Structure 1
Amino acid sequence: MKLLHALLLSSTLAMVAPNVWAQANTVPSEPHLLVKGSATRTVMPDRFSVEVGLESIDMQTDVARGRVQGNVERVLKLFAEHGAIESSVRADNLSIKPSTRYRNDEEVFNGTSASRELKAEFADAAALQAFLRDLKASREVQVTTAEPTYSGEGKLRAELKAEAAAQTRASATGLAGAYGAKITGLYSISDVAPSFAYGVQAGTWPKHPDDGDRFASGDASALDRIGVTGSRYRATAPGELLTAAPITYTENVYAIFLIKDGS
């Protein structure tokens, strides 16, 4: 078993950068295994957000304020008519400030600017599209849409981390067993990818259907990527969102397990 001990030790010991493992852990001097667990889930977005900026400028402050307030009421009414999620509707406080412009390189008073911003989210793209069709944009009513999101992202990420962590233990158990070794304890676990000099680059180890990447090393930034992918298609009018593609979330976990010869 001395040969096994030497093999495992030489295969797993490495130097580690000071900032690896969130600057909290170092590589143990004992024989160990470094394994990576990864979990991925693809979901459809269920939150489609829109922001409406309202601004009116007039020499009379009350006139500017009145026009903004009128637009606020119209936008809020459209939010309700098209099923905006009630808890997502936000209306900033009214802002009033002087407005100026340049004329012949001289700054001149342009009137009083009154402005507010409204935000809301819709549960599907069709509802947002219907809202955009009914909202008349103008110099005083500016509309912007944002990247679609998934409302259960936080819970989903926690589930993926748990799956990835379980995968590291299964991977380490299988690998140690193949060498006749035993796992004696967990030394470190993190979602930050290490950058160990094992002599291979990230991604060069073969994938196993039920296994994580073993001895993951190389470019830390490449490994430590919590992936969120997806795409969206927009209409010809700037900001109008028509539909959205699925979003893929990926969580990675890296663990160091202490081992010993099975004899």
Structure 2
Amino acid sequence: MDIVQIVILSLVQGISEFLPISSSAHLVLVPKLFGWQDQGLAFDVAVHVGTLVAILFYFKDRIFKLLSDFLSSIRQRKMVGESMLVYAVGFATIPAGIFGLACGDLIEQYARSGFVIATTTIIFGIMLYLADKSPGLKSEANITIKIALIIGVAQALALIPGVSRSGITITAALFLGFNRITSANFSFLMSIPIILLAGGLETIKLIKSNTTYEWTDLGLAFVLSAVSAYICVKLFMGLISRASMVPFVVYRLMLGVFLFYVFI
């Protein structure tokens, strides 16, 4: 990979990972437009670790408080503070884990076509618009295990390229009556175990491959994806605190149409 490819793909991953616009759609489209070869597993691991570090840093104070409440709840055998949110994130991860193990190979084989990605980009963009038309008033205090499982099932659908993990989980939360900030916060917290699991599986494959790597290139990819992801999350949270999801809906529709033009 040359330096231009590393920079562009790292920024694409960092910017699109947490926005409701589908990182998979962009990572398929960009190499296609530039005629690049697949970036490889080592690069995927580097940018995933970068985005994980970004979200951990963004929520560092919140995560410390959540883990403290969680450990206290275990010791006291009752809910303490915001410990329910930790349990909710854990239960929300289960459907994606099951769906990934059961259908991961099928998705990889049949669902990565340009047609599928273009279609899901448009369909789930429209769903985001419908969900965002009248956001509810529910906050994190209203998140239960049942609600977490429902949003977790939605998250499992994001294994299909073009759906967007953050997009579908925010959409599900909005449909369930949560406000935009809570929907986004819970979506981002849900991303932590998912990225950990995905990154862990990719790392295992990487270790088994016994391939040599350009560590400088991987380091650059890690830094660029981490910095761009952090900035993007910060700007996104500021935006939705005073505006709707419409700009992202419009972007998804335009992207879907362009994907049809490029791939069909």
Decide which structure has the larger Cα Rg and report it. 1
Using the size of structure 1 for normalisation, the TM-score is 0.22
> Which structure carries more strand by proportion?
1
> Which structure carries more helix by proportion?
2
Using the size of structure 2 for normalisation, the TM-score is 0.22
